[in-house]
Amino acid sequence: MVAESTPAPRADRPRRPSRRGRLPGRQDWSSWPHYQQAAAGFRGYWYPVAFSSRITNKPTAVTLLGERIMVMRDRGTVYALKDRCPHRGVPLSYGNQQFPGTVSCVYHGWTFDLRTGDLAAAITDGPNSPICGKVTQPTFETAERLGMVWLFVGDGEDAPPIDEQLPEELVGNAAVVGARIQPREGNWRFAAENGYDEGHAKYLHRTALWRLFKAMPVHNDTRIVKRGRWIYRVQDNQYWEADFPGLGRWSGKAWYKVDPTRHDKNKVNRNIGNTGGAAKVNEVIAAQDFPGFASISMPGVLRIAYPGFIHYEFYVPVDADNHLYVGVMVNFARGVATLPFYAKYLGAIRWLFHGQFSGQDKWMVEVTDAPPERLYRPDESLLQWRKLAEDVTEERVGRLKEQGITAEDGKPEVTR
């Protein structure tokens, strides 16, 4: 840089005070001890980890709640074993299959029964190897739903049926699914809190292409309503413009955006309804009688009931610093009615909603850094979610205790 420099300060610039600030707030999450401890996720749940089509008879390595797990398919069924050969610590996922129903470690050919985890053979020690029958590899229960493989990570208790954990409307109804699985940086709790957060959508996402032609309110009156396993955000009033004293007017509306105070909701819904299966979706939503648009349940499942489709987000803990974003768009069309659904998903939702819109959330989740934190009125949604997580976990810990099992949420950082 080259420049001329005037030696004296300009008189018209006010001297800036240096102020130490007033930043009181929550320094930790000790009022939710289970939640605070669950940096690497809550144990006792089913989590989606991969598309079913990706799990073949070649082993795949996944990390879930800090545990390294080998997943592979054998004659149609998916199996999951701890991904560390107990012999010398080499990942089993580097191995392959030498005998049906087994996986063999690449290093010395230790061969494990996929179903039981038992060491079935140590090839390089011959058929009479005395070690057989003395080693059992830990296994995980698996399931397949919504085109994805799910694993149960618990503390030794029996896994509940996965259908008890899935959103109710997905169990009895055949669904068409558009999904995106994306590894993301940042703690899973920031992702879940971001998803259910009442406050940010109207500000952060106002510039998203997904919202390009839709006005966003400036602020809302919101209540959180608990029903069953879910808590719902109920919007009582929406304010499309506001005057901030001393600052000016601020609006989520624009000339090129649909005016929400005037447009005919039914008409819009009818239009969306023309994309396949929307009528069935609206019927399902009506049957469920959701009290609000957005809901969340353990262990981090967000549900947004749009007219015409339902959007889910599963925040899958990988470890304390990473999670898997699983975005799922569901519709209940059948037959040819699925075609417009696919067209809408692949032509718009995948790029605008699961893509750029959700990418704004990704960015925030990466840089959120709390506690310390200073919450405000719209964070009631966060507080209720944390309370839900805390209460449900307290209940689980008690239930396990009766079975003589100690819950280990947050214990293992990445295990070997």
Residues 187-206 close enough to bind a copy of itself by CB under 8 A: 199-200, 202-204
Applying CB under 8 A, does 34 fall inside the site for a copy of itself? no
Applying CB under 8 A, does 315 fall inside the site for a copy of itself? no
Applying CB under 8 A, does 240 fall inside the site for a copy of itself? no
Distances (CA, A) of 349 to 76, 177, 280, 342: 31, 12, 19, 10
Q: Judged by CB under 8 A, which stretch of 49-57, 263-271, 282-290, 391-399 contacts a copy of itself?
A: 49-57
Instruction: Give the H/E segment covering residue 119.
Output: strand 119-122
Applying CB under 8 A, does 367 fall inside the site for a copy of itself? yes
Applying CB under 8 A, does 185 fall inside the site for a copy of itself? no
The string over 346-379, giving b where at least 16 C-beta atoms fall within 10 Å of a residue's C-beta and e elsewhere, is eeebbebbbbebbebbeebbeeeebeeeeeeebb
- What 206-213 contacts at long range (C-beta under 8 Å, 24+ apart), as own/partner pairs, is 206/252, 208/352, 208/356, 208/357, 208/360, 209/352, 209/356, 209/357, 210/352, 210/353, 210/356, 210/357, 211/357, 212/256, 212/257, 213/256, 213/257, 213/258
Applying CB under 8 A, does 404 fall inside the site for a copy of itself? no
According to CB under 8 A, which one of 34, 180, 189, 323 is a site residue for a copy of itself?
180
Applying CB under 8 A, does 251 fall inside the site for a copy of itself? no
397, two tokens: 């810990």
Applying CB under 8 A, does 335 fall inside the site for a copy of itself? no
Distances (CA, A) of 229 to 55, 66, 383: 31, 26, 16
Distance CA 114, CA 375 (A): 48
Q: How far is Cα of residue 31 from the mean position of the Cα atoms in its chain? A: 23
228 vs 246 by CB, closer to a copy of itself: 246
Applying CB under 8 A, does 72 fall inside the site for a copy of itself? no
416, two tokens: 């070997």
Report the nearest approach of a copy of itself to the CB of residue 11 (Å).
12
Applying CB under 8 A, does 88 fall inside the site for a copy of itself? yes
99, two tokens: 């005998």
Applying CB under 8 A, does 232 fall inside the site for a copy of itself? no
75, two tokens: 């004659």
139 vs 358 by CB, closer to a copy of itself: 139
According to CB under 8 A, which one of 40, 149, 218, 284 is a site residue for a copy of itself?
218
Size of the site for a copy of itself (CB under 8 A): 126
Applying CB under 8 A, does 260 fall inside the site for a copy of itself? no
Applying CB under 8 A, does 39 fall inside the site for a copy of itself? no
Applying CB under 8 A, does 306 fall inside the site for a copy of itself? no
Q: What are phi and psi of 158, to 5 degrees?
A: -65, 140
Fill in the amino acid letter for 73: R
According to CB under 8 A, which one of 32, 35, 46, 145 is a site residue for a copy of itself?
145
123 vs 268 by CB, closer to a copy of itself: 123
Applying CB under 8 A, does 351 fall inside the site for a copy of itself? no
17 vs 228 by CB, closer to a copy of itself: 17
According to CB under 8 A, which one of 39, 135, 279, 397 is a site residue for a copy of itself?
135
Fill in the amino acid letter for 191: A
Q: Judged by CB under 8 A, which stretch of 37-45, 134-142, 255-263, 275-283 contacts a copy of itself?
A: 134-142
Find the binding residues for a copy of itself in span 50-69 (CB under 8 A).
Answer: 51-53
| DSSP-derived secondary structure for 369-412 | --SSB---GGGHHHHHHHHHHHHHHHHHHHHHHHTT----TT--
According to CB under 8 A, which one of 11, 247, 286, 336 is a site residue for a copy of itself?
247
